[in-house]
Structure 1
């Protein structure tokens, strides 16, 4: 076994470069010929004087021998990697195939060693989902070559299996995952920069990829193009991010306002698949983003757009109407009203009751649905009671201080303290009439009294009431309300992106790299959604976190034995699927033993 260096040239550029191959001499009949065992590529950079040591160490590993003299770390790392690749490239035997002969070998049981464990379950399911979405073909269509596609698939499935930064994904691909065996790609030979540059390419072709991907999703699941969900969330950076123009301070939905933020806008189909995504500045005003996201979406005229109140401004509603969209939004009106005698009852999936009052506008172009939820009433009543009790304790403390001899009774100081108390009251102070009694000179306050006087049309007087607006006049109250509840599914999407798929935090300093991180997470979500839709059809309702733990239990392992004839037998095989995993594979129509069995005798 030796290493051969061959000079060659690139056809497009004419550039000359060297390639390296691991070669062995093989006797065939009476002749000796040279057989290439592995192509080491053009980036093989081990010093030439160490080549003989590397070849010797590879032979030792394959023969199950220990090295008498410890090799240099660089030599040992490459030797382990190339020996593993040689075993993986052995003759393939699919699990369950009919064999003409049975292969019995006499081996020394005590010589058994189990090496090179790699995860395979999430990779197997993830690749199947991306293949169903035809993502490899889509990447080819937008111009990505084979190496770039391998990097893209590795990044996406890494986000599904081991959420984290691109650096963490690279460590997972090169040290823990068996994805390379499924794709026949050596990720250990791929530099880290390849993942980053492929992320740049994905962002560059983002619009084309999303359009083709959603077209494929619509064909797969026969999605009716009638409902569009739109909302935003934000995620935070670790670091100052001075070089990222979109990293801005703002209100963080993860309570991390101490960090720079970026905002992710998503347009989803009613079935939970992403139609379009975009990164905005961290301090983006929600209401100002709608037109940018929906323009060019190719949603059919008359499609129903569902939005939360932060985006449902009068200007946006007017724009939707002008573009011939229907809308169903949470009203921004502050005053609450509800007439129970005019309402009908709707039973939720959780067997709770929501009462809905239908009110048509005077010009007959818009409906308002005033909804009352008993469950929401209990929650809001508890909130207002807590804030009221806290505010009244503060008032009582101020009043008690006025009765102490040394208490500060100056009018301006009392007004300052009262102002701070009102500022921290979460709006509950508006429901109190507060009376200050001054002394004869008017410079000091001698008494403080209050009376609770709830303001009509607020959470205090109408707990559990909210209002929906729509220009869809033909649907009944039950249909409109159930359609609106799709927004809760959108909130579940954001939770999945952040908690299950590693959307947060972002470590990239460059704007395009941060956008690539978000886009890769969105692509991973699309694959997860395919798997969950398929499994849901068979009664599996688990979250992706739970499913991932089940898939992650399966491994690829190499078993090495010393044979009676002195040779070493290497068998690389996938562990048997546990019963729950077996059920998932059957529901997805996948083999329970991905890659099959590889054998090698040295």
Structure 2
């Protein structure tokens, strides 16, 4: 929390820079860094018990009702190859570190932002199958609402939620985009943008489909379609021009392979094109390449800015459904806090249990930070943890030494005076503005 880093860097910080030992009355100067590693091992042995206790304490402290469960995954990369860690695998790195093996962290959170459960997965794990592993045995209350994004919202996971009597609110995977502005109602995002929501009952009457239209998203998606269509057409034109050159590529099989590769990089926009490759009488040599573009209805090209949520909660308004789903964006801020403010990345450990311990310690640090930030928000202090930490760093423990007439020296050790911003934080948390008190020593 105070100095996010590796366990080794934390050990050095405790010994040479921090007054934490003095505040806790613990002598860190003789601490071996191996003790920190053994502490990590001990925490991992009781991971489930610790998580259950910390979550229960947080829920009790803030009187939060357990009604919403958020789930998502993130990953972090290793420094080194981590050959002793079977979970360290190459996969889709969210930090674009394709050169490093990664490990995946799954989090189940309550709507209040507290972590109910965490688990470490292989770096190349696919999102869908992980939900059942995480929720199995969690004993969430019957009727709890599970919110997840499209990557996790597979039909198998939705069937699992229904079987275990969970409600669900997810982004629909695939399907045709629809939107009727005459049937829509407006809602406001936290950023002040107006969204249009169209609520529709599914054909079987078991789900609500909520079509959401964002003008800002529409502008972005329109530009994306134009860009990828332009690149796709440029690729086709290059092949067509090659057919007119004496040494240009004319082999039918090779050109079909090139067209296939072009389709793969088009982000689905090749569906709007009918491409015709005309062969000669032998069928082996291409004579001409032509194409026609007709936008397929119900796609990003014809309905930019539209996405669909699906849920088995039938009695909520469109606005309540969308506002509840928007809490999933809180997970993104959680992951940013874990990675940027709390030292989740990178992982320096090469052994699996130590790497898992590093991630778990980071999750525990987040829980503590969440308690502090939630308490501060109640009095209007909404700063991120990094900003709060900078404010807290201003105060220090100092020693003043003075010579006495009898030849002895008096040493007075106390905290510096808290600046106004820091004093306000202390007041909100019920902490004395001069932590550690005053100590006198005459020698």
Task: Classify the TM-score, shorter chain.
Answer: over 0.9
Aligned ranges 1:176-191 → 2 under 5 Å: 176-191=17-32
The structural deviation recorded for 1:404 is: 4.2
Asked if residue 211 in structure 1 is aligned to residue 52 in structure 2, the reply is yes
Pair 1:242-2:83 in alignment: yes
Which residue number in structure 2 is paired with residue 419 of structure 1?
Answer: 260
Displacement after TM superposition at 1:421 (Å): 2.8
Measured on the aligned residues, the alpha-carbon RMSD in Å equals: 2.0
**CA deviation map 1:57-112 (0-9, x unaligned):** xxxxxxxxxxxxxxxxxxxxxxxxxxxxxxxxxxxxxxxxxxxxxxxxxxxxxxxx
Superposed CA deviations along residues 193-221 of structure 1, whole A, max 9, x for unmatched, are 11111111111111111111111111110
1:353-407 Cα shifts (integer Å, max 9, x gaps): 2112212123322211111111211121122222222223333333344444544
Rounded Cα–Cα distance in structure 1 between residues aligned with 2:14 and 2:390: 18
Q: Among 132, 139, 146, which residue is 1:305 paired with?
A: 146
**3-state SS of the aligned residue for 1:498?**
helix
What's 1:500 paired with?
Answer: 341
- Is the 2:239–2:249 Cα contact (8 Å) retained in structure 1? no
Aligned partner (choices 340, 361, 365) of residue 181 of structure 2: 340
- Corresponding residue of 1:329: 170
Residue 451 of structure 1, CA deviation:
2.7
Deviations 1:219-241 (A, max 9, x none): 11010111111111121212222
2:320 pairs with 479, 483, 489, which one?
Answer: 479
Alpha-carbon shift at residue 423 of structure 1 (Å): 2.8
How many Å separate the matches in 1 of 2:281 and 2:160?
60
The aligned counterpart of 2:130 is 289
* 2:211 alignment partner in structure 1: 370
218-227 vs 241-250, greater mean Cα deviation:
241-250
Matched residues in 2 for 1:293 and 1:445: separation?
A: 54
Alignment gaps of 5+ in structure 1: 1-159
CA distance in 2, matches of 1:498, 1:349: 24
- 1:169 and 1:560 mapped to 2: Cα distance? 30
2:130 and 2:247 map into 1 onto residues whose CA distance is 56
Q: Deviations over 1:289-346 (max 9, x none)?
A: 2222112222111111111112211121112111111111111133222222222222
What is the TM-score when the length of structure 2 is the normalising length?
Answer: 0.94
Cα distance, 1:519 vs structure 2: 0.8
Distance 1:565 1:396, change over 3 A: farther
Residue 452 of structure 1 deviates from its aligned partner by: 2.1
Matched, 1:556 2:397: yes
Aligned length: 443
Matches of 2:392 and 2:97 in 1, distance apart?
Answer: 33
Q: Secondary structure at the match of 2:29?
A: helix
Query: What is the distance in 2 between the residues matched to 1:442 and 1:232?
Result: 49
Q: CA deviation at 1:184?
A: 0.4
Greater relative CO (CA pairs within 8 A, separation 6+): 1
- What residue is the counterpart of 2:113 in the other structure? 272
Query: Which 5+ residue runs of structure 2 have no aligned equivalent?
Result: none
Q: Separation in 2 of the partners of 1:437 and 1:286? A: 42
Report the secondary structure of 1:247's partner residue: coil
1:232 equivalent among 73, 96, 101: 73
**Structure 1 residue 385 corresponds to structure 2 residue 226:** yes
**Distance in 2 between the 1:361 and 1:421 partners?**
36
Quote the offset at 1:441 in angstroms. Answer: 6.4
| 1:541 and 2:374 correspond | no
What whole-Å deviation, never above 9, does each CA across 1:249-268 have from its counterpart, x for those lacking one?
22222222332222111111
TM-score for the superposition, normalised by structure 1: 0.70
Q: Secondary structure at the match of 2:380?
A: coil
Q: 2: distance between equivalents of 1:162 and 1:310?
A: 34
Task: Tell me, in whole angstroms, the C-alpha distance in 1 between the residues paired with 2:8 and 2:216.
Answer: 45
Deviation at 1:481, TM superposition (A): 0.7
Counterpart of 2:102?
A: 261
Structure 1 residue 510, shift from structure 2 partner: 1.7
Decide which of 556, 579, 584 is 2:420's aligned counterpart: 579
